[in-house]
Chain A
Amino acid sequence: MKVLIAVENNAGLDSILDKRFGRAGYFLVYDTDENKILTIQENQFKNDGHGVGIKTATFVIENGCQAVIGAQPGPKAAAILVQANVKMIVDDKGTVKEALERHKQELTV
């Protein structure tokens, strides 16, 4: 499955998980079936006003992600992700590599 991970920096699998969700520095989309990074993009929304998380949640859905790993999304973003049946894994510690390993079980369909 595809999973979006909210990270601070662009360092591939060594990217550090961000303490924010909607205003994270970068979004990394990882494919657990193909075991590769599909894209790392700078977060275009992070300086927006209210409702940033909504844009992030929309981004998650547009990229076909079925799970997200990162800091706790705000209530509106969370509401959208729940409606879209996207699994929320709340974890903002360490690197992408470590997080993927930690949550291996939850990321198998």
Chain B
Amino acid sequence: MYIAVASGKGGTGKTLVSTSLALSAKEYRCTYVDLDVEEPNGAIFLAPEIREEIPFTLQVPEIDENICTFCETCAKSCLFNAISIIPPVKKAMFFPDLCHSCGVCAYVCPVDGALKEVAREIGKIRIGRSGNITFIEGRLQVGQLSGVPLIKGIINDYMDMESLFIVDSSPGTSCPVVESLKKSDYVILVTEPNPFGLNDLKLTVELVKELGKDAGIIVNKDDGKSTIIDEFSREVNIPVILEIPYSIDIQKAYSNGIPLVVSMPETAEKFKAIIKMISRRP
């Protein structure tokens, strides 16, 4: 089973919730997957013992200027402008940050041996264990523009075993999030009871409905007074499955990397109940 934890707005408590779920899933074979590859933080709370660190690479073109005839076919076919050929000075230029690793250049090059594809590292996959929890994290190299290939790589190659997957996605609603939600069985949406939280929750709900996913809302930093999330939840028919009260103590514990179920053990029962509820759906 694949439970994705998402939030439109950053800082609402995705990692707080996802790590709490993983720590509460003691009866299951649980794998925590940190797909917030731009800013992965799950390790701060789970303190895993890392056993493997695997470089993640993409195929990118390498042009041999001695064989290249500077016909410019590759440059003209690249829809991302990642290659520039300069015939007057017989130079080939490659812009790695524009390359999407699609293979078009290699496919269209008419000259044998002029263009080959080589591996280029864009990030790392770290694998380890935290107690009984299997820990997988994607970490994008700073300066790389897109974490999407790394996220896809982890989902395709490292999540094919039987497990309860708790997946922490990135904030927002664009492609890294789409990738993280696409194969999920259930999406937990974490929000805050204020206009910013509601605004971004609306966007994420649009996405969840587009993808046809079952979902539930967790309201974090709940002040017990605001009703804007409840009202919205009824409008869109997505239930609020948990409210975490606003508490300076939780914030302080969080700031020291202490998971919620450790600083407030009574919450463990609630997270256990959520996992049971999700696994029992038809």
Which A residues contact B (CB, under 8 angstroms)? 48-52, 54-55, 57-58, 61, 76, 79-80, 83-85
Contacts and interface: CB of A to CB of B under 8 A. Distances in A.
Contact of A51 (B80, B87, B88): B80
Given A79-B93, A83-B91, A83-B93, A52 B81 contact: yes
A48 B88 contact: no
Nearest to B145: A50
Given A79-B93, A80-B93, A83-B89, A50 B84 contact: no
Q: Give the secondary structure class of A's interface.
A: helix
Contacts of A49: 80
A79 B87 CA distance: 15
A84 B89 contact: yes
A79 B82 CA distance: 13
B86 A55 contact: no
Contact of A54 (B84, B88, B89): B84
Interface of B: 75, 80-82, 84-89, 91, 93, 95, 98
Contacts of A61: 86-88
Q: List the 9 closest A-B pairs by CB distance, nearest first.
A: A51-B81, A54-B81, A84-B86, A51-B98, A80-B84, A83-B91, A54-B84, A50-B98, A76-B95
Contacts of A79: 93
Given A50-B98, A83-B93, A55 B81 contact: yes
B118 to A, nearest CB: 20
A57 B98 contact: no
Nearest to A51: B81
24 contacts: A48-B81, A49-B80, A50-B81, A50-B98, A51-B82, A51-B95, A51-B98, A52-B81, A54-B95, A55-B81, A58-B84, A58-B85, A61-B87, A61-B88, A76-B84, A79-B93, A80-B84, A80-B93, A83-B86, A83-B91, A83-B93, A84-B88, A84-B91, A85-B89
